[in-house]
Every structure is written in C-alpha cells, then in structure tokens.
Amino acid sequence: MPKLYIETVGCQMNVLDSELVVAALRKEGYELTRVVADADTVLFNTCSVREHAEEKIYSALGRLKNAKQANPDKVIGVIGCMAQNHQRTVFERAPYVDLVVGPGQLHQVPELIRKVQQGAGQQLEVSLGRKDGSKQDITRSHESFDPLRDPTMRPTPFQAYVRIQIGCDKFCTYCIVPSVRGPEQSRSPEHILAEARQLASEGCKEITLLGQTVNSYKYKEGERTTRFSDLLYSLHEIDGLTRIKFVTNYPKDMTDDVLAAVRDLPKCSKYLHVPAQSGSDAQLKAMRRGYTVAEYREMLARTYEWIPKVAVTSDFIVGFSGETDEDFQMSMDLVREARFKNSFIFKYSERPGTKGAQLLPDDVPDEVKRERNNEMLALQNEISEADNQRFLGDRVQVLVEGPSKTAAKKEAELGVEHPVVQLTGRTMCDRIVVFEGNRRQIGETIDIGIYDANAHTLFGTVVTQHVGPELVSLT
Ligand code: 5AD
Ligand code: SF4
C-alpha cells in the first residue's frame, strides 16, 4: 500500500481540507504514516496569513531535498493557501517539489499525483486570481469540494468541521485570504444539513461550522433567503448532535437574530470568536475593517446583555502600518475593558498582493511589534486567569475529547495505555478542562467540579454522584 505523510498548518479550514484530501487518497489505496521517511507521498497543507508560516514550509521542504535525491519516486506536494499564493515560486525555491495545488483545486490531488508518477513532470493547479476573469469564472475556479469525509482525520470521531462558506469579500487591507481563498460563497442549506445529518448518524456529537466570516452566511434561492441564524435553528433539530459551534465571526454581522439563536438554542455553544483587530479608529480605518471601535463596543455590550454567560474571544494585530503608541494603548484599553476569554495576538506581517502592502508602509519596527505583542499578551493572560478563577468550586459540563497532551505524550513514549488517564475536554463556552478520568468517558458529556485554574485551563475532578449537599468524586 502506498504511504502518505501529510502535515497541516493554519486554520480549521486547512484541517478540514486535509481530512478531505486524505479521504480521497485513501480511496486510492493510500494509508497514513507519521514518518516522513516512510512516505511515498509527502504533502504540506499550508497557510499564507503570515510570512513566518510560509518560511517554515520552505524550511521543511529544504529538509526533504536529500530524501528526494535518494528516492526520486517520492512525490512531494505543496497544497493549500501558500500554493495558491506562491504558485511557480514554490518550484523555483524548491525545484524538487512535484505538485503545487491551491485550496480550490484539492479534488484534483489524486489525479495530479498519478500524473507525476506517470512521468508528466511538475504539476501546478491553482484557481484564478481575483482579477483574472469574470466574477463567475473566478468563483467557479475556487469551488471547493466537501463530499468525502475521513473520520480518522477529524479532531476526534465525535467532533467534525462543516464548511458553510468559502472565501472572503471583506478585503481587510492586511489580509491575503480574499486572494488565496477567492470570492465569498455560501453553501446551500440543503447540503449543509445533509452533511450534518450524515455526521450525526455516524456518531458525531459536535459540529463546528466554518467560514471566514461565518455569521455573514446568507443563501438566496429564488425568493427564499436563509440567514445564518435560520441555519442554526435547522441544525439544532438534528438528533444526535449535542453541540454546535462556529468560527470566525465578523463584528458587523453580529446581528440580533444571531445573538438570539445562540441564546435560545441549548445546543449552541456560548462561545463567540469575534476579532476586533484593533482598538483604534485610525487603525481600523487603515485596515478597512468596516466598523469603528464604538460600534465594536456596542456589539460587545449587546452580546453580553443578550447572552450573559457568553465567552468572547478576539484577534488583534499589533504594529500594523502607522500604529502609534496611542493607537496601541487604545487596543490595550479595549482588551482591558472587553474581558475577552482569550485573545490571539499577531505581529503585523506584510503580505505582498494585499492593499496594505501596496499602499501602506510596514513602518513599525519589529522590536516595537514584539514589545507590543508581549505587553498585550501579558494583559490578556492576566484577564484570562482572573476570568477562569471565577469557575473555582463550580460544576461544569464537559465534552470529553481524549487524553491530555501530557498524557498522550507519556503514553506514546511508554507504549502503554491505562484505563485511568489524564483527560481533556471543553465546556459549552469552549473552556479547556483537564481532569483524571476513565478512557471510557471519551466522547461523553460529564460533570466536572473545578478546583484550580490558570489562564488557559481549568482543572477538575469527575463528579460521579450527588450525595446530599456535597459533591463526591471517585477519582
Ligand atoms: N499579519 C498579521 N496577522 C494577520 N492576520 C491576518 N492577516 C495578518 C497579517 N498580514 C490575523 C488576523 C486574523 C487572524 C486569523 O490572523 O488577526 O483575524
Ligand atoms: Fe481576512 Fe478580513 Fe476576510 Fe477575515 S474578514 S478573512 S481578516 S479579509
């Protein structure tokens, strides 16, 4: 059997794309290996959001040069966003790469591997650029494929990603996504519901809906328009599903109907990732985010008012073009005030091909970017820790995902599996909980009493019985 090694970096979209590529290749008889040296085909599913992610792939490719020389039959492929972004440059920088396939062309991967093996030479398949044709042609060239699933590639057998939208039309000036993932397209509700039903029938309990601006989802068919909130209500009806999550939200489209759905639907995770990117109006304007800080604050206040126990997370970019100390302090003020459960903080990385790279100088020194990044991270960590401390003594419901990272590593080293193991899972508001439990509990939703917390994790014990007023724990 031919062996496939696949490495995935980047967002959940990429994780899902890899799942689909693996499923397609399994149909062709491939099996997965974790060892690059054993692989007949090596694929890197890549990300272009920051330069660092791309450079890491070139380093990884560099390490394969000798292996390819020793075994010229090994097929090496770069797929996903960097393939679309760099196209032939990948072949120029790593001439021993055999295929470069963009995210809109992944269904062709098995065929392209076959062509390489038949001696057809290097294969390049990418979608049209955003200015390289009619809107219809560009859109069609980005159509992704979601028919095949490979449960073994999912985060766990009872969790799955479901794509409801591809591409993005927001064109924030720093962002490469609209170029590499193409025009925003919402998938038909029928297809989404059919896929979710299929997943539920296979034992999947939690689905995470994916879209670059997931809450902007809208599907028009004749007279009928399905909004994102309508989709949530329909998905909620599916038996077997117990949790519905979705990422990433666009602040301006956090409308009352979406908030009401999250509040009223018990299966909807009370967790919203709504990136602010900055707390300064000048920066938001330069980023062309389409909202002011006051509008973001209003959205946040409304969210907390409608869903009091909601956990909100955000992304911030520090050191974007022209960011002054005052601008940065305004972002710090927003972090301080907003009490995000967590924030992902990024140093601005100029991306060739974006409006930012064309029109705005990358003028904040790297050292300053680093300092601001660390400062904001320290503040957010303080807030996250205080926020998690509120759970001490509480009982939370956790969907058990599997052994914790530490436990999994230890097991791999020792080559043994004990029934009682350190497990990890998530609450309905996406907080990570670590506790000692039984492997049988994986995939179950169980009650955990929380006794400790840091910025990123809650620690607890399994609540097995309720005797009188006290919680009794058997672990
Ligand atoms: N530089 C740094 N961060 C970026 N992001 C997107 N583009 C860039 C860039 N050029 C961040 C944004 C986005 C997250 C996925 O990545 O914060 O929300
Ligand atoms: Fe990029 Fe902005 Fe689209 Fe998000 S909304 S993917 S940041 S262009």
Look up the pTM and report it. 0.93
Is pLDDT at 194 greater than 70 in this prediction? yes
Ligand minimally distant from the alpha carbon of residue 184:
2
Between the CA of residue 376 and those of 26, 278, 290, 380, 381, what are the distances in Å? 44, 11, 23, 6, 8
Is 41 within 8 Å of 3 (Cβ atoms)? Answer: yes
Note the pLDDT tens digit of each residue in 99-154.
Answer: 999 999 998 999 999 999 999 999 999 988 888 888 888 778 776 656 556 666 67
CB-hemisphere CA count at 13 Å for 383? 21
Tokens describing residue 19: 């799942």
Ligand minimally distant from the alpha carbon of residue 357:
1
Does residue 355 line the site of ligand 2, with CB under 6 A?
no
Q: Domain extents for the chain?
A: 3-139, 144-387, 392-462
Does residue 49 line the site of ligand 2, with CB under 6 A?
no
Does residue 287 line the site of ligand 2, with CB under 6 A?
no
Which pLDDT value is given to residue 154?
74
First to last CA, the chain: 44
Q: How far apart are CA 403 and CA 401, in angstroms?
A: 7
Q: How far apart are CA 339 and CA 344, in angstroms?
A: 13
Nearest CA to ligand 1 atom 18: 315
Q: What is the CATH number of domain 392-462?
A: 2.40.50.140
Q: What is the CATH number of domain 3-139?
A: 3.40.50.12160
Q: How far apart are CA 342 and CA 274, in angstroms?
A: 11
Note the pLDDT tens digit of each residue in 18-27.
Answer: 988 998 899 8
**How would CATH label the architecture of 144-387?**
Alpha-Beta Horseshoe (3.80)
Note the pLDDT tens digit of each residue in 34-46.
Answer: 999 999 999 999 9
Q: How far apart are CA 322 and CA 278, in angstroms?
A: 12
Q: How far is the CA of 250 from the centre of ligand 2 (A)?
A: 8
Does residue 344 line the site of ligand 2, with CB under 6 A?
no
Does residue 212 line the site of ligand 2, with CB under 6 A?
yes
Does residue 284 line the site of ligand 2, with CB under 6 A?
no
Q: How far is the CA of 351 from the centre of ligand 1 (A)?
A: 10
Is pLDDT at 408 greater than 90 in this prediction? no
- The band of 472, judged by pLDDT with boundaries at 50, 70 and 90, is very low
Q: How far apart are CA 263 and CA 257, in angstroms?
A: 10
Ligand minimally distant from the alpha carbon of residue 173:
2
Note the pLDDT tens digit of each residue in 203-250.
Answer: 999 999 999 999 999 999 999 999 999 999 999 999 999 999 999 999
Which pLDDT value is given to residue 89?
97
Nearest CA to ligand 2 atom 1: 175
Q: In 3D, which of 55, 45, 134 has the Cα closest to residue 81?
A: 45
Q: Which atom of ligand 1 is nearest to the CA of 344?
A: 17
Q: How far is the CA of 127 from the centre of ligand 1 (A)?
A: 22
Q: How far is the CA of 350 from the centre of ligand 1 (A)?
A: 10
Which pLDDT value is given to residue 139?
79
Q: Is the dihedral of CA 93, 95, 96, 101 positive or negative?
A: positive
Mean pLDDT, the chain, integer? 93
Is 148 within 8 Å of 100 (Cβ atoms)? Answer: no
Tell me the mean pLDDT in the region 422-433.
Answer: 96
- Percentage, residues of the chain above pLDDT 90: 85
Is 365 within 8 Å of 347 (Cβ atoms)? Answer: no
